[in-house]
Amino acid sequence: MRFAVTFGQRYYSEEHPISPEIKGNSYYVIEADDEMSARKEAHDIFDGRWAFIYELEEFQPQIVKWDLEEVQLNQGEQDGRTQTE
């Protein structure tokens, strides 16, 4: 299954500590067997700095409606390291 992780309004005005590419209108796609596995991966990558998680198929209309952008992370960012570490 594929899941969309969102980050929230806060990152329109603040830089996300994992990647400056993450904005308030960003989402990140995680592939996982189920929602709990996706949540664990989101926590591992973003250290709790994310807002919501949705099944990607059900989330598609929101992507279009709100003009959301998928964010890609480099390997260091995917490993949950911040820019300063």
Identify the pLDDT of residue 79: 73
Tokens standing for residue 38 = 């996706």
- Cα 38 from chain centroid? 11
- Sequence spans of domains, the chain: 10-32+42-76
Q: Kindly state the average pLDDT of the residues 7-25.
A: 96
- pLDDT band with cut points at 50, 70 and 90 for residue 28: very high
- pLDDT band with cut points at 50, 70 and 90 for residue 82: very low
What end-to-end distance do the CA atoms of the chain give, in Å?
A: 31
Least confident among 1-5, 26-30, 56-60, 73-77: 73-77
- Taking CB atoms within 8 Å and a gap of at least 24, the contacts of 57-65 are 57/2, 59/4, 59/27, 63/4, 63/27
pTM here? 0.88
- pLDDT band with cut points at 50, 70 and 90 for residue 77: confident
Tokens standing for residue 83 = 């820019």
- pLDDT band with cut points at 50, 70 and 90 for residue 85: very low
